Amino acid sequence: MLNFVLEGKIGSNGIASRIREEILSGKISFKDRLPSERVFTEIYSVSRGTVRAALRLLEAEKLIEIRSGSGAFVSYDRSKNIISPIENANPLELIDARFALEPHVCRLITLYGTKQNFDSLDKLAYEMEKSEDDPVDFASADTTFHTTLTESTGNKLLIWIISQITAVRGQAEWTKARNLTLNKETIKTTLEIFNIGYLDFSLKVFNLLIIKKEIIKVKL
């Protein structure tokens, strides 16, 4: 049974983040129907446009399917996607796994990415900048950025592997780490990586991962 708590006004990224955590943690099951747009507008005190933007983010991540006239349904089958190492992984393991993969992901995008891919990533980086004062919104925008980053390679195996790594973000330990480490100062440091200019894309992500890992190590 769905259990969305009244939380006051947040943005589309924040709403998407809360629903994502419910789905990845298994609190919302495969094929479950999400509450209607009207219900979400009442829960979060936002417009329907904000709710729709949040649902579109989740649909882009293949976590839900929006059916015209019927609503939004969970399309993420946790039983087929979550494996036991994921369930027991901690935030530092998440960063280490991304260290191993994302620099090469960036090199693939440099070789094969299209203008549309880079335009999408630019827009998502802008969404991260807009969320500077809201850790929840920022974390959601960051998740969408890294998901889109991998999808831009067109490599189905890499996309699947990264989806497994991203599933760690639905675990309680990740939420705890985010709450401890993500604040205006650390967000500002993260955004500086994107504001240096068009450096080598893989170098940007590599530096970003170093910063994130050191922050988590100090705080936990």
At a CB cut-off of 8 Å and minimum separation 6, what does 195 contact?
A: none
Angle (CA) 98-101-106 rounded to 5° is 105
- Residue 211: its pLDDT value, please? 58
Q: Say if 12-79 and 82-219 have the same CATH topology.
A: no
Ranges under pLDDT 50 in the chain = 1, 196-199
The full set of domain ranges for the chain reads 12-79, 82-219
- Residue 51: its pLDDT value, please? 93
Alpha-carbon distance of 118 to 19, in angstroms, equals: 27
- Residue 1: its pLDDT value, please? 42
Alpha-carbon distance of 127 to 20, in angstroms, equals: 18
Nearest to 215 by CA among 125, 126, 95: 95
Count CA atoms within 13 Å of residue 198 on its CB side: 5
- Residue 197: its pLDDT value, please? 42
Give domain 12-79's CATH architecture: Orthogonal Bundle (1.10)
Residue 151 structure tokens? 């999808």
Q: What is the CATH number of domain 82-219?
A: 1.20.120.530
Whole-prediction pTM value? 0.57
